[in-house]
Amino acid sequence: MRVAALVACLAVAGCAASQAVPTPQTVAAAPNAGLHTHAIIGFSVDTPERAATAAREGVDTTILYDGSPPPGSALARALHGHGIAVVDGSVSGLMFYWECHRTHTVKPPPKSYGYNPYCRTDEDPHLGTEAAVLRALAKILEHDAARPYVVGYWVLDDWAWWDPGSGRRLLQKVHALIAARTPGRPAICGFGGGVGPPGKVFWDPGTGANYSNSGCDVVGWYNYSPFGLRHPSLGKKLDWTMKALLPAMHRSLAKRGWRIEQTPLYGIGQGWGGSYEHHFYQPGLTQSEVVAQASAFCRFGARYVGWYAWDDSGFESRTHTPNNSDAIGDGMLAGAAACRAIWNSR
C-alpha cells in the first residue's frame, strides 16, 4: 500500500543517473542473514517510540518505506534494542515511480477518468526506465549490504489496475540484482485484496500479473476493509476470516506458477480503523477482528504475519492505530500468539 513519497530513493536515483547499468554478476557480497522461518512483521515502525510500542505488541521485524536507518541512528539503535529487524521497503518506491511514469506516458488511465488515480503527476520521471531503477537499486543494496539488521526487501506494492503485469520483467531483474548483491535476503512482492462481507470477493485477478517465481521470494497479501467511506461503519458485517478471499487470491497466483510450499506467504492484516485523512472512515477494528484476520492467514499457510501500520500519511488524531488503541495492540499480541501456536503445531 503506497503511503508516502520516498525522499531517500529520489536522492539515490539522482546520484546514480550517470552510472552504468549494474549486472547481477558484479561484486556479490558475502551471504547475509535473511528472514527467520517465521516472523511478525509490522509496517512503518519508524520512530524509537513506535519501536517500543511495536515490540510490546509482538513485532520482531518492520518494513520501512524510507529505507533502512543509518547505523548508529536513534531509530537503528531503538530497533536493535527491541530486537526488531528491518525489511527495506524503498525498493517498492522505485517500482512505484517507474510505473507512475508509465501511467503518464505510454499507459495512461482509461479516458473515462478525469485524472490519474495512480499518481496525479509524474512524480519522478528520472526513474522512468528499467536502467535507472536498477542503478538506484544498486546504491540501496550497497548501503544495505553493510547493515546486518536488514533482512529483506519489500519490492512490490500497489499497481495501476489498467496496466497489469507491466512490472513482471523488471521485478525479475530487481530480484536478480538483490540475490547477487545481498544474497540470502528475500524479495517480498505485495498484492492487495479487500475484506468484504461473507461470500464476497474483493480481488482483481489482474493484480497478480506481476508475479513470477523468478521475481518473488515471498508473497505478501495485504487485505483491508473498504476505502472511501464517508460515514462511520463498523467492521462487524465483514468476514475477517477471508474465507472466500484467500482461496481466490491463491488461485490467481497459482495460475502464474506460485506454490505456497516453495514461495512462502506473508499475511498482512489491517492495523488501523476509524477516521482517516479527515474525510473518510475505515471500517474496524476490534481485538477479535485483528485476531481473526491474523489467525486466518496462518491457518491458510502463511509463514509470516503482521499488520499495516504504525505510521501512515493519512493517520490523524482520531484514527485508531497500534499506537493509541488497546484493542488493536492487544489484538496484535494475541494474533501473533495464535499464529505461533499454529506454526508450532505443524
3-state SS of the chain? CCCCCCHHHHHHHHHHCCCCCCCCCCCCCCCCCCCCCCEEEEECCCCHHHHHHHHHCCCCEEEECCCCCCCCCHHHHHHHHCCCEEEECHHHHHHHHHHHHHHCCCCCCCCCCCCCCCCCCCCCHHHCCHHHHHHHHHHHHHHHCCCCCEEEEEEECCCCCCCCCCCHHHHHHHHHHHHHHCCCCCEEEEEEEECCCCCCCECCHHHHHHCCCCCCCEEEEEEECCCCECCCCCCCCCCCCCCCHHHHHHHHHHCCCCCCCCCCEEEEEECCEEEECCCEEECCCCHHHHHHHHHHHHHHCCCEEEEECCCCCCCCCCEECCCCCHHHHHHHHHHHHHHHHHHHCC
pLDDT by 10s per residue, the chain, length 346? 543 332 233 233 333 333 355 655 433 333 456 899 999 999 999 999 999 999 999 999 999 999 999 999 999 999 999 999 999 999 999 999 999 999 999 999 999 999 999 999 999 999 999 999 999 999 999 999 999 999 999 999 999 999 999 999 999 999 999 999 999 999 999 999 999 999 999 999 999 999 999 999 999 999 999 999 998 888 999 999 999 999 999 999 999 999 999 999 999 999 999 999 999 999 989 999 999 999 999 999 999 999 999 999 999 999 999 999 999 999 999 999 999 999 999 9
pLDDT at residue 280, rounded to an integer: 96
Q: How far is CA 321 from the centre of its chain?
A: 17
Is residue 233 a contact partner of residue 205, using CB atoms and an 8 Å limit?
no
* Sign of the alpha-carbon torsion through 155, 158, 159, 165: positive
d(C-alpha 286, C-alpha 71), whole Å: 37
Taking the domains of the chain in order of start, what are their residue ranges?
33-344
Q: What is the pLDDT of residues 257-271, one digit of tens each?
A: 999 999 999 999 999
The alpha-carbon radius of gyration of the chain (Å, integer) is: 19
Is residue 165 a contact partner of residue 10, using CB atoms and an 8 Å limit?
no
Write the single-letter amino acid at 108.
Answer: P
Sheet of 280-282, strands arranged across: 280-282, 273-276, 319-320
Q: Assign domain 33-344 to a CATH class.
A: alpha beta
d(C-alpha 269, C-alpha 43), whole Å: 10
d(C-alpha 131, C-alpha 148), whole Å: 27
pTM for this entry: 0.92
pLDDT at residue 27, rounded to an integer: 37
pLDDT at residue 17, rounded to an integer: 34
Distances (CA, A) of 166 to 172, 211, 315: 12, 10, 31
Instruction: For residue 36, give every residue at least 6 positions away whose Cβ sits within 8 Å of its Cβ, in sequence order, or none.
Output: none
d(C-alpha 147, C-alpha 142), whole Å: 9
Backbone angles phi, psi at 17, to 5 degrees: -60, -30
Q: How far is CA 112 from the centre of its chain?
A: 29
d(C-alpha 82, C-alpha 150), whole Å: 15
d(C-alpha 284, C-alpha 272), whole Å: 7
